[in-house]
Amino acid sequence: MRTTVKNAQEIVAALSLDDKIRLISGHDFWTTEAIPGAGIRAMTLTDGPHGLRKQRNAGNVANVTDSVPATCFPTGVALASTWDPVLLEEVGVALGRECRAEDVPVLLGPGLNIKRHPAGGRNFEYFSEDPVVAGRMAAGLVRGIQSQGVAACLKHFAANNQESWRMSIDAVVDERTLRELYLTGFEIAVRESDPWTVMCAYNQVNGTHCGETRGLLTEILREEWEFDGLAMTDWLATFDRVPAIRAGLDLEMPGSTATWDREIAAALKSRTLDAADLDLACARVVDLVLRTAPPSGARSKAAPAPDFAAHHALARRAAAAGTVLLTNDGLLPLSPRATIAVIGAFAESPRYQGAGSSLVTPTRLDTFLDVLREQAGESRVTYAPGYDPITGDTTDALLSQAAQVAAAADAVVVLVGLPSRMESEGFDRDHLRLPEGHDRLVGAVVDANPRTAVALFNGAPVEMPWVARPAAILESYLGGQAGGAALADVVLGAAEPGGRLAESFPAHASDLPASANFPGDATQVQYREGLYVGYRFHDASGVAPLFPFGHGLGYTQFEYSGVKVAPVGAGWDVTVAIKNAGKRAGSEVVQIYVRDVVSTAYRPVKELKGFAKVHLAPGASQKVTVSLDRRAFAVWDVTSHEWRVENGDFEVLVCASSSDVRGAATITVLSPDVAATSAGPSDPAYVATDAEFEGMLGHPVPVEASLLPFHRDSTVSALRATTLGRVVRAIIVRVARRSFGGDDDPDTKAGNEALIENLPLRGVAMASHGTLSLRRLDHLIHVLNGASPKALLARRRGRRGPSRHPVTHATPASSAQTGANP
Ligand code: BGC
């Protein structure tokens, strides 16, 4: 046992009951409770993930636009495209140092939810559609952050794959898909990096809120994966605190002004809550306090000021390493003497991070235009904005100016993408198109000068109706504060675009089976596509993506030879020789996929099981080894609830992308396991029918809960269903708007509005600083459901006993809720 755990237990044993109850709920929006008499200091928890967002005026407000300056590193999607956990560890170290300097012991990131659908509003913050990439990238960051004595936080556990109704929706997902796709990344990150905290997701999984699912928080996370840190709620995620403590949810954030204290005390008294469970939660809070304490002796000394210049340089390197060259007919890198037309307002007003809780105030901000002018010389660079950076709209005048400027230059770089208000935490996109103005601009510029490179700035895949026309396409994603400089480095050839897509770009969103159930309905979303997400779908169906998972060209070419797969201990080592056959230094991502040749269970055609990034000088070669353990061949068996390996032949594919196989070897895996059998969604649609989904779930498909009558989990938006509801909603919205800062910022506003609409009524109570107690909330809900306020009041005065109209915590019976929890 770690000494801090033992010490924590001793400290907790000496606390009063009141102190214990106080300790497991935050003090305010960003800090935990201090109990000075017991030597327990308060901890500040801040977002995350791609930079420190420490609010200047903390306390009980959520103001995403007013935080201390910090290095804004590339967002999760851009970091993941580096496929370089070592680089992410470096970024993590820098994040940890900035946290330490600001006295922040807990950074709320990384987020590693699977990108089930490319329209997910928060995809920019997440890593991948594949759990191996997501888990390994997260592990790199965690190791770096925690090397500085700062706790990282894996979030959002689990199956938080959309923003629509994110705080209450029930994700109905079969056990095998949950295990193989949605939990595996968390498992890898826990096992590889020992995170000190995990944040549970807002949503429900199979009928139970994540924060109350003992299967997730205790059985899987702690008992199976051996997580030994603290589990906290997402902000205002608590649905019912007592069962949450029992489930293994230690800390409630933010503090809910004693909302649950009475219930916890009553549960202890009636022994529906075991005192040992409360003690355990307290001990984990204290353990985190001790684990993140500044090193002894450093207590009085302030942590050293971070080297912001070095961190900026690192952010620039990481952004270039995450830039993906999608197509190139040889235009890039640009020739050193070419005159360059820069088109697109993002060159001056960069789109470099996503809106919402991850919004960082950068220490500085590079623009592509400035850096290009500086590096290429003013006289070589001309510019036309082409569109409005806020709306994305263009005009005929802007288009013709852009065409003229483009036509007069040797080469053109046109910057397009998604304006902030089109993607944000809080809402999902309802299509994958660029703003019409951006599509028109690309067309006009390519017409004027075919020697055009398009650089995309967006947090997630977009459709490209013009894909075949430009001479080159770069996916820059949201590259952080140095993203503009990184693009200049890449187009001029000072850096290679080192990225590979960590997600598939579909040609059309409608191609995807998940589109049939994304984002679902207000109370439920059914994962009927099972494992057919991303390349797993494209491989199986033969529906070609626009760009495949793992794709990226770089500026040189690599040759693969001598693929060998040899047994080593209980696993296998895959080796391959990689040679840089081009004239420039460059990096390659060697991707190892496994295919079960004959399987009794339904399986994707192939799945990524390992990868390695190599950097090679021109002409240089290197032998690359990737180890595969037994798990690389396994499926989750829903009968025995364990991983099973089928006996037989497996193909090991050595690839440069999911659709570029460079070598293969077939091995025979001998396994005593009884074969797993399971069926999934059948072709051609890959959307499970009712019967297929029932088979996958192992029980009838749960009926979607109705919006009425209202209950504690009804969202503010659902109040629109009745006249009185609309009145109450208007009041809540007015009050909530006042408590958010940043309303004058249009990008933040859209996310805030969505956040308010998605807030469940219990969340309104918890955020009310004690004004709306749960009792009052229940009363309000009765009234909203048609009870006369007077009668309720009279009844309350006449009786002190329980209400004759108890308000249940539960969402109204979704009739076939079953025990399909993991
Ligand atoms: C987000 C979390 C974030 C928290 C605190 C929530 O709404 O989902 O990722 O850490 O707010 O800002």
Q: How far is CA 601 from the centre of its chain?
A: 29
Higher pLDDT, 453 or 750: 453
Q: Strand 324-328 to strand 472-475: parallel, antiparallel, or no bridges (unpaired)? A: antiparallel
Per-position DSSP letters for 190-234, written without gaps between them: HHHH--SEEEE-SSEETTEEGGG-HIIIIIIIIIIT---SEEE--
585: left (phi over 0), alpha (psi -120 to 50) or beta: beta
> Looking at domain 1-41+197-291, which of 3.30.450.20, 3.30.1490.20, 3.40.30.10, 3.20.20.300 is its CATH number?
3.20.20.300
What are the pLDDT digits (tens) for 639-648? 999 999 999 9
What are the pLDDT digits (tens) for 335-349? 999 999 999 999 999
What are the pLDDT digits (tens) for 645-702? 999 999 999 999 999 999 999 999 999 998 778 899 999 899 999 999 999 999 999 9
- Range in 169-173, 303-307, 622-626 with the lowest mean pLDDT: 303-307
Reduced to 3 states (helix: H, G, I; strand: E, B; else coil), residue 792 is helix
Is any ligand 1 atom within 6 A of the Cβ of residue 47? yes
Higher pLDDT, 5 or 622: 622
CA distance 253 to 17: 20
Give the rounded percent of residues in the chain with a pLDDT score beyond 70.
Answer: 94
Q: Do residues 211 and 233 make contact, with C-beta atoms less than 8 angstroms apart?
A: yes
User: What pLDDT, on the 0 to 100 scale, is given for residue 93?
Assistant: 98
Best residue for ligand 1 mutational test, from 44, 50, 108, 752 (most atoms within 8 Å of Cβ): 108
User: What pLDDT, on the 0 to 100 scale, is given for residue 799?
Assistant: 52
Is any ligand 1 atom within 6 A of the Cβ of residue 53? no
Q: Evaluate the omega torsion of the peptide bond into residue 254 and state whether it is cis, within 30 degrees of 0.
A: yes
CA distance 85 to 788: 60
CA distance 613 to 624: 9
The set of catalytic residues is 234
pLDDT at 814 over 50: no
Element (H, E) at 519: none
- Write out 137-189 in H/E/C secondary structure: HHHHHHHHHHCCCCECEEEEECCCCCCCCCCCCEEECCHHHHHHHHHHHHHHH
CA distance 646 to 649: 9
**Residue range 558-674, CATH number:** 2.60.40.10
For the chain, residues classed under CATH 3.40.50.1700 are 43-91+109-167+308-553
What is the CA(201)–ligand 1 centre distance, in A? 9
Token duo for residue 382: 């001309």
For the chain, residues classed under CATH 2.60.40.10 are 558-674
Q: Which amino acid makes up residue 74?
A: P
What are the pLDDT digits (tens) for 84-108? 999 999 999 999 999 999 999 999 9
What is the CA(411)–ligand 1 centre distance, in A? 43
What is the CA(235)–ligand 1 centre distance, in A? 6
User: What pLDDT, on the 0 to 100 scale, is given for residue 794?
Assistant: 67
User: What pLDDT, on the 0 to 100 scale, is given for residue 738?
Assistant: 82
Q: Which amino acid makes up residue 475?
A: E
Q: Do residues 451 and 412 make contact, with C-beta atoms less than 8 angstroms apart?
A: yes
- Crossing angle, helix 789-798 and helix 774-784, to 10 degrees? 140
User: What pLDDT, on the 0 to 100 scale, is given for residue 746?
Assistant: 72
pLDDT tier for residue 802 given thresholds of 50, 70 and 90 = very low
For residue 506, give the nearest of 536, 548, 551 by alpha carbon: 548
Mean pLDDT across the stretch 179-189? 98
Q: How many CB atoms are closer than 10 A to CB 601?
A: 18
For residue 157, give the nearest of 96, 105, 82, 218 by alpha carbon: 218
pLDDT tier for residue 812 given thresholds of 50, 70 and 90 = very low
Question: Which residues have CB under 8 Å from 424's CB, separation 6+?
Answer: 121, 354, 355, 356, 747, 750, 751, 754
User: What pLDDT, on the 0 to 100 scale, is given for residue 730?
Assistant: 96
Is any ligand 1 atom within 6 A of the Cβ of residue 163? no
For residue 326, give the nearest of 455, 178, 485 by alpha carbon: 455
Which residue's alpha carbon is nearest to atom 12 within ligand 1? 357
CA distance 815 to 588: 51
Per-position DSSP letters for 289-345, written without gaps between them: HHHTSPPTT-SSSPPPPP-HHHHHHHHHHHHHHT-EEEEESS-PSPPTT--EEEESG
Is any ligand 1 atom within 6 A of the Cβ of residue 129? no
Say which DSSP state 501 is in.
-
What are the pLDDT digits (tens) for 436-456? 999 999 999 999 999 999 999
pLDDT at 368 over 60: yes
Q: Do residues 250 and 33 make contact, with C-beta atoms less than 8 angstroms apart?
A: no
Q: Do residues 533 and 542 make contact, with C-beta atoms less than 8 angstroms apart?
A: no
pLDDT tier for residue 258 given thresholds of 50, 70 and 90 = confident
Closest ligand 1 atom number to CA of residue 64:
12
pLDDT at 801 over 60: no
User: What pLDDT, on the 0 to 100 scale, is given for residue 397?
Assistant: 98
Is any ligand 1 atom within 6 A of the Cβ of residue 234? yes
Per-position DSSP letters for 75-97, written without gaps between them: PHHHHHTTT-HHHHHHHHHHHHH
Element (H, E) at 711: none
- CATH architecture of the domain covering 43-91+109-167+308-553: 3-Layer(aba) Sandwich (3.40)
Whole-Å CA distances, 789 to 299, 491, 804 = 56, 67, 14
Is any ligand 1 atom within 6 A of the Cβ of residue 424? no
What is the CA(414)–ligand 1 centre distance, in A? 34
What is the CA(661)–ligand 1 centre distance, in A? 39
Strands across the sheet with 411-417, in order?
324-328, 472-475, 452-457, 411-417, 340-343, 381-384
Say which DSSP state 259 is in.
T
For the chain, residues classed under CATH 3.20.20.300 are 1-41+197-291
pLDDT at 298 over 60: no
